[in-house]
């Protein structure tokens, strides 16, 4: 729960989120709100305030939102970055558990779940359902009550509940993985009725599932208008598959064309998400621009130089920093380890650093930690 000043900011944010993703948020409006949120967070988030003070950036000295210090996502593993009373958090999302104990998991305290929902719903709606379709949403992610730590499971459950048709549901469990038979029955049923569906899941889950489909010679021709949201990558997970190869598989085995495949880019440490432009372009423009990521107007992304952390000229490759107003209860400005390049209307995500193999004959920390964990030591 947020305190009184938080409630006032919340009310303004709800107003902005409620306008949807089409209504642009002018930079001066974004700037004014961002700096108020910065001041709010500075007052309530001692480790963040200390971090800012070390950089000489105080609410009274920051003249523009671009000067607000961005917190590296790894910091969420070290301290509670909560702007308010952590005991009053309505949820705590944790980064995925590739490691147990040896490396701590990042924690994002969510003080106000309904604010989070108010941010995620219009964005999903705009990028996955731009045609206003009300579809069954079939999830390859275990239900949220099995994965209470997972922001992704939470998001998908909210989306199914609020935006999906009645038959929406999860077809996976933590213990058993994807229930291929139940999913098969649901997909065949929908196809027979001519009902388009929306499949959501991690890229890795889709990869394994489609591998099994291929192995048993199964193939669907899902009804026109069917679509798919995948998220996450596979680096360091034992198999490298290009996004394009996966999209070709979706077209071949599911009958979902590339412009109905929307990759989501989100993270535990952010309340807002980014999505591929393609389906929205197809529906609203008729033509599809080059695939890139777009977010809602209450998020700004800066691409910064990998060495100096200064903003790079538009179009150059750098590290992605996101300024997400929906992160009211934690830290608005986060610096990722993701690489990208700004384009008109958004950015191209070029890679996520986690799991990248080292170049030499040593072994870098994340691979080593996960290798040691896999052995169950």
Partner 1 sequence: MTDVDAFHLPGLTADDVVRWHVREYGDAEVRLRTPVLQPAAIGRIAERLRAARARHLAELPVAAVVDAIAATAARLADPADPHRRIADAALPAATGYSPPMARLILDRMLADWRADALDSLLRAEFGDPAVLDAFRPGPRPGTRVRALGPALAFHIFAGNVPGVAVAALIRSLLVKAATFGKSASGDPLLPALFARTLADVSPELGTCIAITYWAGGTTTLEAAALDAADAVVVYGGADTVRDVRARVPAETRLIVHGPRISFALIGREALTEDAADRTAALAARATALFDQQGCVSPHVLYVEQGGDVAPEDFAARVSAALERLRTELPRGRLTAAEAAVIHQVRGAAEFRTLDGQDVRIFAGPGTEHTVIYEADPTFTPSCLHRVVSVKPLLDLADAVERVRPYARYLQTVGIVGAGKRRDALAERFARAGASRITGLETMPWPPAAWHHDGQEPLRELIRWVDLED
Q: What are phi and psi of 52, to 5 degrees?
A: -70, -40
Smaller CB distance to partner 1: residue 163 or 349? 349
Residues 6+ apart with CB under 8 A from 254: 199, 210, 219, 220, 222, 226, 228
Q: Over the Cα atoms of the chain, what is R_g?
A: 21
Which of 77, 289 has the CB closer to partner 1? 77
Residue 101 as a binder of partner 1 (CB under 8 A): the answer is: no
Q: Provide φ and ψ at 294, rounded to 5°.
A: -130, 150
Q: Using CA atoms, how far apart are residues 100 and 9, in angstroms rounded to an integer?
A: 37
Task: Count the site residues for partner 1 by CB under 8 A.
Answer: 48
Distance between CA 70 and CA 335 in Å, rounded? Answer: 5
b/e burial code for range 99-126 (CB count within 10 A of at least 16 → b): beeebebbbbbbbbbebbbbbbbbbbbb
Least distance from partner 1 to the Cβ atom of residue 164, Å: 35
Q: Does 376 bind partner 1 (CB under 8 A)?
A: no
- Comparison of 148 and 371: residue with beta carbon closer to partner 1: 371
Q: Does 348 bind partner 1 (CB under 8 A)?
A: no
- Give the number of other Cβ atoms within 10 Å of residue 28's Cβ: 8
Our finding on whether 210 is near partner 1 (CB under 8 A) is no
Work out whether 58 is an interface residue with partner 1 (CB under 8 A).
no
Identify the residue among 207, 228, 331, 339 touching partner 1 (CB under 8 A): 339
Q: Is 234 in the site for partner 1 (CB under 8 A)?
A: no
Q: Cβ-count burial of 181 within 10 angstroms (0-12 exposed, 13-18 middle, 19+ buried)?
A: exposed
How far is the C-alpha of 171 from the C-alpha of 199, rounded, in Å? 10
Binding to partner 1 (CB under 8 A) within 263-322 occurs at 306-309, 317-319
Q: Is 243 in the site for partner 1 (CB under 8 A)?
A: no
Footprint of partner 1 on residues 61-90 (CB under 8 A)? 71-75, 77-79
Q: Which stretch binds partner 1 (CB under 8 A): 31-39, 43-51, 164-172, 175-183?
A: 43-51
Which residues, 126 to 155, sit near partner 1 by CB under 8 A?
none
Among 86, 92, 241, 364, binds partner 1 (CB under 8 A): 364
Q: Name 158's Cβ contacts closer than 8 Å, sequence gap at least 6.
A: 117, 120, 121
Question: Interface residues with partner 1 (CB under 8 A)?
Answer: 47, 50-51, 54, 71-75, 77-79, 102, 238-239, 306-309, 317-319, 335-339, 350-353, 356-369, 371-372, 377
């Amino acid at each position: 729960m947020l305190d009184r000043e938080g409630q006032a900011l919340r009310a303004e944010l709800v107003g902005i989120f409620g306008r949807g993703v089409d209504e642009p948020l002018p930079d001066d409006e974004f700037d004014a709100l961002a700096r108020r949120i910065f001041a709010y967070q500075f007052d309530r988030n001692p480790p963040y305030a200390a971090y800012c003070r070390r950089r000489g950036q105080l609410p009274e000295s920051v003249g523009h939102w671009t000067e607000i210090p961005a917190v590296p996502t790894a910091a969420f593993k070290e301290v509670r970055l909560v702007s308010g009373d952590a005991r009053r958090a309505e949820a705590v999302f944790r980064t995925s558990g590739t490691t147990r104990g040896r490396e701590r998991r990042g924690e994002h305290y969510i003080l106000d779940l309904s604010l989070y929902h108010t941010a995620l719903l219009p964005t999903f709606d705009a990028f996955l359902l731009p045609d206003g379709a009300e579809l069954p949403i079939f999830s390859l992610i275990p239900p949220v009550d099995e994965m209470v730590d997972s922001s992704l499971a939470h998001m998908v459950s909210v989306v199914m509940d609020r935006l999906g048709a009645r038959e929406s549901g999860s077809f996976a469990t933590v213990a058993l993985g994807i229930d291929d038979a139940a999913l098969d029955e649901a997909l065949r049923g929908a196809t027979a009725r001519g009902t388009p569906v929306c499949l959501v899941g991690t890229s890795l889950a889709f990869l394994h599932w489609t591998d099994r489909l291929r192995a048993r010679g199964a193939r669907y021709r899902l009804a026109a208008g069917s679509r798919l949201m995948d998220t996450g990558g596979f680096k360091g997970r034992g198999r490298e598959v290009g996004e394009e190869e996966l999209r070709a598989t979706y077209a071949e085995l599911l009958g979902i064309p590339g412009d109905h495949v929307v990759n989501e880019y989100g993270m535990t440490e952010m309340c807002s998400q980014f999505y591929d432009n393609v389906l929205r372009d197809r529906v609203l423009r008729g033509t599809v621009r080059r695939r890139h990521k777009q977010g809602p107007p209450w998020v700004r992304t800066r691409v910064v130089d990998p060495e100096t952390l200064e903003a790079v000229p538009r179009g150059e490759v750098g590290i992605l920093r996101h300024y997400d107003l929906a992160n009211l209860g934690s830290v608005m400005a986060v610096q990722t380890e993701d690489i990208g390049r700004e384009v008109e209307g958004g950015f191209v995500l070029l890679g996520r650093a986690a799991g990248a193999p080292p170049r030499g004959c040593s072994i870098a920390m994340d691979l080593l930690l996960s290798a040691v964990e896999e052995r169950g030591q």
